[in-house]
Each structure stands twice: as structure tokens, then as C-alpha cells.
A = this chain, B = another copy of it.
Amino acid sequence: MRVLGVDPGLTRCGVGVVEGVAGRPLTMIGVGVVRTPADADLGHRLVAVEQGIERWLDEYGPEYVAVERVFSQHNVRTVMGTAQASAVAILCASRRGIPVALHTPSEVKAAVTGSGRADKAQVGAMVTRLLRLAAPPKPADAADALALAICHIWRAPAQNRLQQAVALHASKGRTA
């Protein structure tokens, strides 16, 4: 299972590709950051994010894309840019028929560190350990993108089992 994690942002959009299945060692396939100039206008920045995400989808052909779910309780200006960058990432994947999953920051932290309130350093340290890297990926947005991909690989089996149970229950309901 190959997953592209996206930590959305207009100035820095973290991207990381991880391959593996739950319960086995995971492999980092690629990591990086799509950047857009802060002084460019919003339209040009969104086009640059789209081109960047398209390149990552072309190059790595992920089967799933995991994007951080954006909440608006944070800083107002930042959140708008984050929501808009995430929309572009979700659009690029969906247009190709690649399933997109949204995970909250605390789900991601809990998945890789065991605590939903872990700090950036802890997430970076665990990503480094789980992917057997020589050093934590920089910047933090890149590490967060890898953490999103890991979170998705580990949560997917549980989600699939849940969906199967719901589907089974629904089909029993219909035949009863």
C-alpha cells in the first residue's frame, strides 16, 4: 500500500510517500515540500500547489492520498490558506480517482507517538525511527506529511474492517 501524505499549506505544503502494510516495517519512498512565494497572488499560489501535487502524483503513483483535516479554531489567516491548499490537494487526487482520507492532527500524533498531544519534535523523532531514517526530515511540514501517510497505513485496516462490518450488517438487514 503506497500512500502520499499531504500537510497542506500555501507557503510550505509538506508531501511524503510511504509504502507498507500495518504490522510490517514501513519504507519512505519520497519526501519534500511544495513551496509558493508569499508575495505572489492567491491564484498563482494555488496553481503552483496544483502543479506541485500533480508532479508528486505522476512520479510516485500513490494508491491513497492522506490529507490533514483542517479546523478553523486556529489562526484565521493561516487557516484560510491551509483550507485552500488542502482543497487543491484533494481535488488533484479525486480527479484521478485516487481515494482521499482526511486525518485530524491529533489522530496523526496518536498514531505515530501514542499521544494525540505530542509535540513536533516527538512526531519527528517517531517518523525517523519508524521509517529508519538517518535524521528527522526537515522542515517539520515534510515530517508531518510522512506521519500522515503512516497514520493512514495503520488506520486503514481498522477502517476497512469497520466498513465491512457496516456493509455486512446492512446486507443482513435487507435479507432479514
**Residues of A at under 8 Å CB distance from B?**
41-44, 46-47, 50, 70-73, 76, 79-80, 83-88, 90-91, 93-95, 100, 102
Which residues of chain B are within 8 angstroms of A44 by Cβ–Cβ distance?
94
Which residues of chain B are within 8 angstroms of A43 by Cβ–Cβ distance?
90-91, 93-94, 100
B42–A95 contact, CB under 8 A? Answer: no
B80–A47 contact, CB under 8 A? Answer: no
Between A and B, 14 residue pairs with Cβ closer than 8 Å are A43-B91, A43-B93, A43-B94, A46-B90, A46-B94, A47-B94, A47-B95, A50-B91, A83-B83, A83-B84, A83-B87, A84-B90, A88-B88, A91-B91
Which residues of chain B are within 8 angstroms of A41 by Cβ–Cβ distance?
100
